[in-house]
Amino acid sequence: MPPQPAAAAAPTAPAQARSATAPTDLATSVLRRPLPVNGPLDGIVPDVERHILEPVVADIARLKQERNAVVLAHNYMTPDIFYGVADLRGDSLQLARMAAETDAEVIVMAGVHFMAETAKIISPDKTVLIPDPRAGCSLADSITGADVRQLRERYPGVPVVTYVNTSAEVKAESDITCTSSNALRIVESLGTDRVLFLPDRYLGSWVAGQTDVEVITWDGACEVHERFTGAELDALRVEDPSIQIIAHPECPPDVLDAADYVGSTSQMTAWLATNRPERVVMVTECSMADNVAEEAPDTEFVRPCNMCPHMKRITLHNIRTALEDLTHRVEVAPEIAERARRAVDAMLRAS
Ligand code: SF4
């Protein structure tokens, strides 16, 4: 039988008319839906966003129960994640500890890849998921395990202190890890005259300025904190001499010199709760100030912030997908995990 012509399609609205009306109708129907009173994002995001995001938050809450899962969120997550779906929140050290203590079978790391690896190192029997495996880190990418082995050959006997913002492979080559909260304490806990401090040169030089221990640094830097300058902070100070400036120690030295207080993200939060300044500049990633501002309504936040493109790869939508499909699983080879765990455990004991 010769090929038959396809049946004529039923008449439809002209393409131009469809594209002009359909999205508008959809948007209107979404916006007309009543918003739940006291919904999870009430006061956190504008109402127009609540219409879109709260159903995703509800899906995540259901999936967390079904999967026996928790969401761990770093302080640099956006407020919809931080306040909408996170079970546990904090800086790198806090997240490492929480990962060890949770009874959940599944951990979703709303943070970057090295944080998910750290969770897996500490909790090898749990399923650890990262919602977007491309969420990396310029510090973690600045050094490899082979680099550390070469440094050990060059500086025999000098202990290696490694910032947690590194891969499992680099942690495995280290004697002890540290965070920005405890870096000085960890360096001094070793009781040696010299340490190799990897990989953040700015955090290393900040520690070096507070101790008699000789600190040998690596040439890594955080691409977010490195962009701040002392000059921009000086200009803010000229504009308002009473303004308070608090900075993360991953910033360059001229920024730290211009700051009234230097501390990790959790230390900055604690400093704000104690000092309750009228106006403050938080010299760190943008979302940190957004999250802290929710709990400090009397403080005005001046925000010359820089955004971390890696952290911002994590969204409510890919957290939901991670829980639905149990992806993307983070695995660390057992031999590397075992050696890396020793370095992390050494830090947890000394903290
Ligand atoms: S803020 Fe800096 S240190 Fe943190 S994940 Fe981003 S690039 Fe890495």
Full 3-state SS string of 150-199: HHHHHCCCCCEEEECCCCHHHHHCCCEEECCCCHHHHHHHCCCCEEEEEC
Q: What is the model's pLDDT at position 27?
A: 65
What strands lie across the sheet with 261-262, from one edge to the other? 261-262, 244-247, 279-283, 300-302
Is 125 in the same domain as 43? yes
- Is 308 a pocket residue for ligand 1 (Cβ < 6 Å)? yes
Question: Among 225, 283, 287, which residue has the most ligand 1 atoms within 8 Å of its CB, making it the best to mutate?
Answer: 225
Place of tokens 């940190």: 288
Closest-lying ligand 1 atom to the alpha carbon of residue 137: 8
> Of 222, 245, 272, which residue constitutes the final position of a domain?
222
* Below-70 pLDDT ranges, the chain: 1-32
Is 148 in the same domain as 214? yes
> Of 222, 251, 282, which residue constitutes the final position of a domain?
222
How many domains does the chain divide into? Answer: 3
**83 lies in which domain range?**
34-136+312-325
Is 26 inside any structural domain?
Answer: no
Is 303 in the same domain as 321? no
Q: CA 182, 179, 90 angle in degrees (round to 5)?
A: 100
> What ranges in 40-133 are assigned the alpha helix state H?
47-67, 79-84, 92-101, 113-122
Is 350 inside any structural domain?
Answer: no
Is 49 in the same domain as 101? yes
Is 60 inside any structural domain?
Answer: yes
For ligand 1, atom 2, which residue shows the shortest CA distance? 222
**Predicted TM-score of the model (pTM):** 0.89
Is 1 inside any structural domain?
Answer: no
Is 14 inside any structural domain?
Answer: no
**Distance, CA 291 to ligand 1 centroid (Å)?**
17
Is 43 in the same domain as 132? yes
Question: Among 74, 95, 164, 165, which residue has the most ligand 1 atoms within 8 Å of its CB, making it the best to mutate?
Answer: 165
Is 130 in the same domain as 150? no
Is 5 inside any structural domain?
Answer: no
Is 129 in the same domain as 39? yes
Give me the residues paired with residue 244 across strands.
280
Is 191 in the same domain as 210? yes
Share of the chain above pLDDT 70, in %: 91
Asked if residues 111 and 96 have their Cβ atoms less than 8 Å apart, the reply is no
**Distance, CA 323 to ligand 1 centroid (Å)?**
24
| Residues in Cβ contact with 186 at an 8 Å cutoff, skipping those fewer than 6 apart | 161, 176, 177, 178, 347, 350, 351
> Of 157, 192, 222, which residue constitutes the final position of a domain?
222
Q: What is the model's pLDDT at position 33?
A: 72
Distance set, CA 273 to CA 2, 153, 228, 299 (Å): 81, 46, 24, 10
Round to whole Å and give the CA distance between 128 and 121: 10
Coil, strand, or helix at residue 215? strand
Question: Among 310, 312, 313, 314, which residue has the most ligand 1 atoms within 8 Å of its CB, making it the best to mutate?
Answer: 310
Q: What is the model's pLDDT at position 274?
A: 95
Asked if residues 211 and 191 have their Cβ atoms less than 8 Å apart, the reply is no
Q: Token digits for 247?
A: 């900075």
Round to whole Å and give the CA distance between 305 and 75: 14
Q: What is the model's pLDDT at position 23?
A: 55
Q: What is the model's pLDDT at position 61?
A: 98
For ligand 1, atom 5, which residue shows the shortest CA distance? 137
Round to whole Å and give the CA distance between 197 and 54: 44
**Distance, CA 338 to ligand 1 centroid (Å)?**
25
**Distance, CA 136 to ligand 1 centroid (Å)?**
8
Is 211 in the same domain as 244? no
For ligand 1, atom 7, which residue shows the shortest CA distance? 137
Asked if residues 169 and 198 have their Cβ atoms less than 8 Å apart, the reply is no
Q: What is the model's pLDDT at position 79?
A: 96
Q: What is the model's pLDDT at position 348?
A: 87
Is 198 in the same domain as 234? no
Is 346 inside any structural domain?
Answer: no
The CATH number covering residue 180 comes to 3.40.50.10800
Is 245 in the same domain as 152? no
Q: What's the pLDDT tens digit per position in 11-56?
A: 333 444 444 445 566 666 666 677 777 889 999 999 999 999 999 9
- Is 54 a pocket residue for ligand 1 (Cβ < 6 Å)? no
As to burial, measured by CB atoms within 10 angstroms (0-12 exposed, 13-18 middle, 19+ buried), residue 191 is exposed
Q: What is the model's pLDDT at position 147?
A: 98
Is 13 inside any structural domain?
Answer: no
For ligand 1, atom 6, which residue shows the shortest CA distance? 308
Q: What's the pLDDT tens digit per position in 158-181?
A: 999 999 999 999 999 999 999 999
Round to whole Å and give the CA distance between 63 and 74: 20
**Distance, CA 94 to ligand 1 centroid (Å)?**
16
> What ranges in the chain are assigned the alpha helix state H?
15-32, 47-67, 79-84, 92-101, 113-122, 145-154, 168-172, 183-189, 201-208, 230-239, 253-258, 265-275, 286-294, 316-325, 334-350
